[in-house]
Structure 1
Amino acid sequence: MLLLYIDPGTGSMLFSIIIGLVTMLYFVAKAALIKVKFFLTGGKAVASNKNRYPFVIYSESERYWSVFKPILDAFEKRQISVMYFTSAEKDPFFSNPYSYINGEFIGEGNKAFTRLNFLEADICLMTTPGLDVYQLKRSRGVKHYAHVLHSVADATSYRLFGLDYFDSVFLSGTYQEAHIRILEEQRGIAKKELVVVGCTYLDMLNQQLSTFEPDENHLFTVLVAPSWGSNGILSKYGERLLDPLVETGFQIIVRPHPQSIQSEKAVLERLQRRYASSSNLEWNYSRENIGTLFRSDIMISDFSGVIFDYSFLLDRPFLYVNANFDDRPYDGGSIDEEPWKFKILPEIGVELIESSFPTIKEVLLDTVQNETLTKNRLQAKETAWQFRGHSGEKIVDYLAAKQKELGL
Structure 2
Amino acid sequence: MSFLASGSNYIIAMILFTLLTKILLLPIGIWTQKNGIKMVQMRPYLNLIKVKHFGDKDTIADETAALYKAKKYHPLLGTLPLIIQIIILLGIIDVVKIPEYAGLTAADMLVGKIDFALYPYQAGGLYWCMPLLAGLSSFILSIAQNRMNPLQAEQGRWGQLGTMAMSVGISLALGAYVLAGVGAYWISSNLLAILQQSVLNLIINPRKHIDQKLLEESRLKLEELENVGADGKKARHDPNAAREKADYKRFFSVANKHLVFYSENNGFYKYFENIIEYLLDHSNVTIHYITSDPRDSIFEKAEGNSRIRGYYIGEKKLITLMMKMDADMVVMTMSDLENYHIKRSYVRKDIEYVYLFHYPLSTHMVLHTGALDHYDTILCVGEFQIPEIRKQEELYHLPEKKLIMCGYGQLEKLQKQYDAMEPPVRTCRKILVAPSWQEDNILDSCIDDLLRELMGKGNHIVVRPHPEYVKRYGKRMENVVSRYADYTGDDLEFELDFTSNTSIFDSDLVVTDWSGTAFEFSFVTGKPAVFINTPMKVNNPDYEKLGIEPQEIRLRDKVGISLDTEDIIGCNGRIQQLMEHQEEYIRKNLALRDTLIANYGHSGEIGGKYIIDSLQRRIEARKAAQGK
Q: Could you say which TM-score interval applies, normalised by the shorter chain?
A: 0.7 to 0.9
Q: Does 1:144 align with 2:179?
A: no
Which moved further from structure 2: 145-154 or 48-57? 48-57
Q: State whether residues 161 and 331 of structure 1, in contact with CA within 8 Å, keep that contact through their aligned partners in structure 2.
A: no
Contact persistence 2:523–2:593 (CA under 8 A) = yes
Equivalent position to 2:322, from 84, 108, 116: 116
CA distance in 2, matches of 1:241, 1:24: 56
User: How far off is 1:306 after superposition?
Assistant: 1.2
Per the normalisation by structure 2, the TM-score is: 0.56
Match of 2:145 in 1: none
Q: Unpaired runs of 5+ in structure 1?
A: 1-9, 29-47
Alpha-carbon offset, residue 287 of structure 1: 3.2
CA contact (8 A) 2:331 2:354 kept: yes
Provide closer, same or farther for how the CA distance between residues 308 and 289 of structure 1 changes in structure 2, counting only shifts above 3 A. farther
Inter-CA distance 12–254: structure 2 relative to 1 (3 Å threshold) = farther
User: Which amino acid letter does the alignment assign opposite residue 396 of structure 1?
Assistant: G
Deviation at 1:229, TM superposition (A): 2.7
Deviation at 1:214, TM superposition (A): 2.2
Q: Answer yes or no: is 1:18 the counterpart of 2:230.
A: no
Q: 2:548 aligns with which of 337, 358, 369?
A: 337
**Greater Cα offset, 125-134 or 77-86:** 77-86
Alpha-carbon distance in structure 1 between the residues aligned to 2:609 and 2:383: 18
Secondary structure in structure 2 of the residue aligned to 1:19? coil
1:191/1:288 Cα in 2 relative to 1: closer, same or farther (>3 Å)?
A: farther
Q: Distance in 1 between matches of 2:406 and 2:597?
A: 9
- In the alignment, does 2:609 pair up with 1:397? yes
The answer to whether the aligner puts 1:66 opposite 2:270 as a matched pair is yes
Please tell me whether Structure 1 or Structure 2 has the larger radius of gyration of its CA atoms: 2
Pair 1:166-2:375 in alignment: yes
Give me the whole-angstrom Cα distance separating, in 1, the residues matched to 2:254 and 2:299.
23
Instruction: Sort the Cα spacing of 1:150 and 1:115 in 2 relative to 1 into closer, same or farther, 3 A.
Output: same
Output aligned runs, 1:311-390, within 5 Å: 311-325=522-536, 327=538, 329=540, 332-370=543-581, 373-390=585-602
Gaps of 5+ in 2: 1-44, 64-251, 623-628
Native 8 Å contact 2:285 2:307 kept in 1:
yes
Residues in 2 aligned to 1:312 and 1:358: alpha-carbon distance in whole angstroms: 27
Pick which of 182-191 and 217-226 moved more.
217-226
Comparing 329-338 and 287-296, the one that deviates more: 329-338
TM-superposed CA distance for 1:227, in Å, is 0.6
1:239–1:113 distance in 2 versus 1, CA, 3 Å: same
- Cα drift, residue 265 of structure 1: 2.9
1:35 alignment counterpart: none
User: Partner of 1:251: helix, strand, or coil?
Assistant: strand
Equivalent AA in structure 2 for residue 130 of structure 1: D
The one-letter code sitting in structure 2 at the alignment partner of 1:405 is: R
Q: State the identity %.
A: 25
Report if aligned partners of 1:94, 1:103 keep a CA contact under 8 Å in 2: yes
Deviations 1:67-106 (A, max 9, x none): 0111111111123211011112222223333332211221
8 Å Cα contact 1:23/1:118 also seen in 2: no
In 2, the alpha carbon distance for the partners of 1:57 and 1:321 equals 36
The correspondence for 1:99, drawn from 306, 316, 321, is 306
Aligned match of 1:285: 496
Pair 1:298-2:509 in alignment:
yes
* Alpha-carbon distance in 1 for matches of 2:48, 2:595: 39
Partner of 2:440: 231
Matched, 1:242 2:451: yes
Contact 1:125 1:146 in 2 (8 A): yes
In the alignment, is the contact (CA less than 8 A) between 2:337 and 2:375 conserved in 1? yes
| Aligned match of 1:134 | 340
Amino acid at match of 1:123: M
| Worse-matched range after superposition: 290-299 or 96-105 | 96-105
How far is the alpha carbon of 1:333 from its aligned partner? 4.6
Is the Cα contact below 8 Å between 1:66 and 1:205 reproduced in 2?
A: no
| CA distances 1:289-315 after superposition (whole Å, capped 9, x unpaired) | 521212211000111111110011111
Match of 2:425 among 203, 216, 233: 216
Counterpart amino acid of residue 398 in structure 1? Y
Distance in 1, Cα, partners of 2:50 & 2:531: 40
Cα offsets for 1:215-258 (capped at 9, x unmatched): 33464210001111323111111212122222324111111111
Determine helix, strand or coil for the equivalent of 1:382: helix
Alignment partner of 1:82 is 2:272: no
Deviation at 1:204, TM superposition (A): 1.6
- Residue 281 of structure 1 aligns with an amino acid whose one-letter code is L
Counterpart amino acid of residue 329 in structure 2? I
Flag the 1:369–1:12 CA change in 2: closer, same or farther, 3 A. Answer: farther
Instruction: After superposing the two structures, state which structure 1 stretch, 222-231 or 124-133, moved more.
Output: 222-231
Displacement after TM superposition at 1:175 (Å): 0.9
Q: Report the Cα offset of residue 403 of structure 1.
A: 1.5
3-state SS of paired residue (2:355): strand
* CA positional deviation for 1:326: 5.7
3-state DSSP class of the match of 2:53? helix
- Measure, in 1, the Cα distance between the counterparts of 2:405 and 2:609: 12
User: CA-to-partner distance for each residue in 1:24-82, whole Å, 9 max, x for gaps?
Assistant: 689x9xxxxxxxxxxxxxxxxxxx98344110000112221210111111111123211
> What secondary structure is seen at the aligned counterpart in 1 of 2:558?
helix
How far did residue 20 of structure 1 move? 8.6
Going from structure 1 to structure 2, the CA distance change for 1:246 and 1:117 (only over 3 Å counts) comes to farther
* Distance in 2 of aligned mates of 1:12 and 1:151: 35
Aligned residue pairs: how many? 379
- Amino acid in structure 2 at the alignment position of 1:246: M
Counterpart position of 1:185: 394
Would the aligned equivalents of 1:175 and 1:383 in 2 still touch at CA under 8 Å? no
Q: Which has the higher strand share?
A: 1
Aligned equivalents of 1:335, 1:354: Cα separation in 2: 29
Q: Quick check: 1:158–1:330 contact (8 Å CA) kept in 2?
A: no
Give me the whole-angstrom Cα distance separating, in 2, the residues matched to 1:282 and 1:216: 18
